[in-house]
């Protein structure tokens, strides 16, 4: 296992992170304990959960695991949870208000059986609550020793900058991480969200790195997914392969490419997809979910897998998101582009429409 700094902090985390969304739902407590043990034994450290995973069963299971394991084992864990979601039937039962976050954080600490959570993440934005109110609560929680670091999840680019700039202007603790949806089948975050995170030195912790299992290799173009799979359920969580759409065709081409590279390397598609993502610029640790110990073992195979330039380029090309128009098309990129005489690398590289060849100098 390799390790990386958690953004602009002195804390180090494993190259792969374990997500616990299945704990207490699709994964039994015994299996969850085995998965947590296996992850730590393999050198993993970053464990991610949330106050609403499986109701709140995931946090409770992790808490019981903490209580049943020696302190020298649990001390290695960098524990992350989230607050913002809650009871939609209660007007004050969710959001980023001081009142709700206070109750949500205290409840999470009690379920987890800890006095401090290492990374407390805002699960999503709440523009009904002034950002100053949210940031003041988080700063108080850090000073009270309830959390070590603040993180964000599912924020837009401008919202990331608003939160970070406001925190700096007020002299409050600044977020250190961002959890976006990001994978070979979901790369539009590269346009605004990831540049905002990188500009502010936030650790990028992608969720759903295997796109709900579509990048695991268990699905094939033209096949009907089995009913006991996420894709085959009546209400699949992900719609990566919607019928007869151009996006669906690109997704299947990407899955085919991942599978071909995996076969050539003697690896699995999941390992290839995770390795590609783990080595993207700014990414600290993809957060993979594991419903079973077998899934854990497969995913952990990506820990030391390194793709060569040919494989990386092939995946980059086949999965490149189509902009669709201004401001993300070649013309829009050209407006923001600045060519330097010394040949310094460009921040945004415009491409010809339908081509993998970079455009020449843009003069407008």
What's the CA gap between 187 and 183, in Å, rounded? 6
Inter-residue contact 85 to 51 (CB < 8 Å): yes
What's the CA gap between 257 and 273, in Å, rounded? 10
pLDDT in tens, 237-261: 445 444 444 568 899 999 999 999 9
Any alpha helices (H) in 173-320, and if so which ranges? 193-199, 246-265, 269-278, 293-300, 309-319
- pLDDT, greater one: 24 or 242: 24
What is the domain partition of the chain in residue ranges? 3-319, 323-364
Q: What is the pLDDT of residue 345?
A: 54
The CATH class of 3-319 is alpha beta
How many CB atoms lie under 10 A from the CB of residue 168?
11
Query: Using N-to-C axis directions, what is the helix angle for 29-41 and 57-68, rounded to 10°?
Result: 60
Q: What is the pLDDT of residue 358?
A: 45
Angle at 348 between CA 254 and CA 336, to 5 degrees: 135
What's the CA gap between 271 and 269, in Å, rounded? 5
How many CB atoms lie under 10 A from the CB of residue 359?
16
Q: Assess whether 182 carries a catalytic annotation.
A: no
Whether pLDDT at 363 is above 90: no
Q: What is the pLDDT of residue 323?
A: 76
Residue with tokens 């993300």, as numbered in its chain: 328
Report the pLDDT averaged over residues 120-143: 97
What's the CA gap between 80 and 119, in Å, rounded? 4
φ and ψ at residue 14, rounded to 5 degrees: -70, 155
What's the CA gap between 32 and 289, in Å, rounded? 11
Residues 6+ apart with CB under 8 A from 95: 84, 86, 126, 128, 129
pLDDT in tens, 300-320: 999 999 999 999 999 999 999
What's the CA gap between 233 and 252, in Å, rounded? 19
Q: Provide the token pair at 231.
A: 């894709």
What's the CA gap between 328 and 149, in Å, rounded? 33
Catalytic residue among 53, 120, 182, 219: 53
Which helix (H) or strand (E) segment is 118 a member of?
strand 117-122
pLDDT in tens, 87-113: 989 999 999 999 999 999 999 999 999
Inter-residue contact 178 to 153 (CB < 8 Å): yes
Q: What is the pLDDT of residue 349?
A: 52
Which of 271, 273, 266, 236 has the alpha carbon at shortest distance from 251?
A: 273
User: pLDDT grade, residue 166 (50/70/90)?
Assistant: very high
Residues 6+ apart with CB under 8 A from 361: 339
Whether pLDDT at 357 is above 50: no
What's the CA gap between 317 and 351, in Å, rounded? 11
Using a pLDDT cut of 90, give the percent of the chain over it.
Answer: 77
DSSP string, 139-193: HHHHHTTSEEEEEEES--HHHHHHHHHHHHHHT-PPP-EEE-B-BTTB-GGGTTH
């Amino acid at each position: 296992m390799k390790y990386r700094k958690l953004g602009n902090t002195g804390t180090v985390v494993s190259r792969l992170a374990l997500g616990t969304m299945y704990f207490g739902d699709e994964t039994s407590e015994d299996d969850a304990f085995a998965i947590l043990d296996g992850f730590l034994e393999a050198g993993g450290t970053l464990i991610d959960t949330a106050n609403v995973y499986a109701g709140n069963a995931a946090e409770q299971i992790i808490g019981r695991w903490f209580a049943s394991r020696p302190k020298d084992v649990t001390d290695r864990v960098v524990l992350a949870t989230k607050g913002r979601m809650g009871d939609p039937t209660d007007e004050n039962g969710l959001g980023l208000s001081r009142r709700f976050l206070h109750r949500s954080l205290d409840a999470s600490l009690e379920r987890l059986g800890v006095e401090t959570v290492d990374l407390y993440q805002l699960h999503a934005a709440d523009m009904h609550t002034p950002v100053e109110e949210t940031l003041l609560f988080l700063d108080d929680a850090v000073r009270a020793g309830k959390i070590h670091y603040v993180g964000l999840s599912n924020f837009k680019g401008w919202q990331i900058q608003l939160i970070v700039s406001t925190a700096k202007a007020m002299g409050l603790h600044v977020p250190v991480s961002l959890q976006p949806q990001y994978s070979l089948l979901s790369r539009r975050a590269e346009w605004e969200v990831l540049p905002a995170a990188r500009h502010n030195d936030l650790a990028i912790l992608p969720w759903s790195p295997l796109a709900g299992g579509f990048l695991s290799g268990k699905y094939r173009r033209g096949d009907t997914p089995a009913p006991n799979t996420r894709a085959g359920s009546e209400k699949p969580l992900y719609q990566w392969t919607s019928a007869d759409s151009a996006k669906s065709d690109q997704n299947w081409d990407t899955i085919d490419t991942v599978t071909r590279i995996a076969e050539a390397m003697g690896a699995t598609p999941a390992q290839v997809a995770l390795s590609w993502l783990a080595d993207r610029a700014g990414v600290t640790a993809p957060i993979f979910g594991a419903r079973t110990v077998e899934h854990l073992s497969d995913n952990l195979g990506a820990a030391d897998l390194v793709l060569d330039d040919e494989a990386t380029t092939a995946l980059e090309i086949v999965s490149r998101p189509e902009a669709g128009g201004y401001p993300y098309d070649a013309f829009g990129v050209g407006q923001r582009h600045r060519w330097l005489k010394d040949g310094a690398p460009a921040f945004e590289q415009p491409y010809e429409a339908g081509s993998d060849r970079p455009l020449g100098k843009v003069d407008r």
